[in-house]
Amino acid sequence: MHVDDFVQIIDNAFDPEELGKLVRFCPRFDFKEAGVLTDKSRPNQPVSQVDKNTRNVSTYSLLPNGPSKTEAHWHNFFKFWIGKLVKHYFTDKYKHFSIRGFYEFTLLKYEPGGHYVDHVDHAESVPRTLSIILFLNDSYTGGEIEFFKPDMSSSQVIKPQTGRLIMWPSNFVYPHKVLPVKKGTRYSLVSWAV
């Protein structure tokens, strides 16, 4: 399988030295175990619950008015530059592509054993148009992202690299997963355009 033109892989999208500053700051953030969306039609089920068999990762959302100027800086930095990349690779190229904005900028922390089974990012309860991941470091083993054909008949693995940005449509055509981290800590930033 060849990842098609709608999966944009941009190497050196961000300066590794700048990203290193954020990675060094990450231990100060209060990462929480990530949940997975549950079926809202089932009674007494939370909208999101922790299920480490499905998704074993910790998250921290960067907020524009967060508790520190550092957090606000990184949120605004990524919003500005990722917005420019989305415009260049999608909005300017495809007549019918449009977005209203971004649905958050979230740091992900995958430690050994951390993974995320195959899934798509668009859901009825969380409608998303474009998925975005930025690798903040590559000082670990494992943690690759694997894209599948929609029928899951074949796949392609993309290796993490500091500064590598990947953007793709969030819909059912792009199932993907994060392979388990074997050693070290994988930091990445994710966002979704809506």
pLDDT in tens, 104-142: 999 999 999 999 999 999 988 889 999 999 999 999 999
Structure tokens of 187?
């930091």
Give the three-state DSSP class for 87: helix
Q: What per-residue confidence (pLDDT) applies to 147?
A: 96
Give the three-state DSSP class for 66: coil
With a cut of 50, which residues of the chain have pLDDT below it? 1
Q: What per-residue confidence (pLDDT) applies to 66?
A: 81
CA 14 to CA 92: how far, in whole Å? Answer: 21
Own/partner contacts of 152-156, CB < 8 Å, gap of 24 or more, are 152/118, 154/1, 155/1, 156/1, 156/2, 156/3
pTM: 0.93
Q: What per-residue confidence (pLDDT) applies to 161?
A: 97
Q: What per-residue confidence (pLDDT) applies to 2?
A: 53
CA 91 to CA 12: how far, in whole Å? Answer: 21
CA 85 to CA 63: how far, in whole Å? Answer: 20
Strands across the sheet with 58-62, in order? 8-10, 165-169, 130-135, 186-193, 102-110, 58-62, 32-33
Specify the length of the chain in residues: 194
Closest CA to 170 of 60, 59, 86, 75: 86
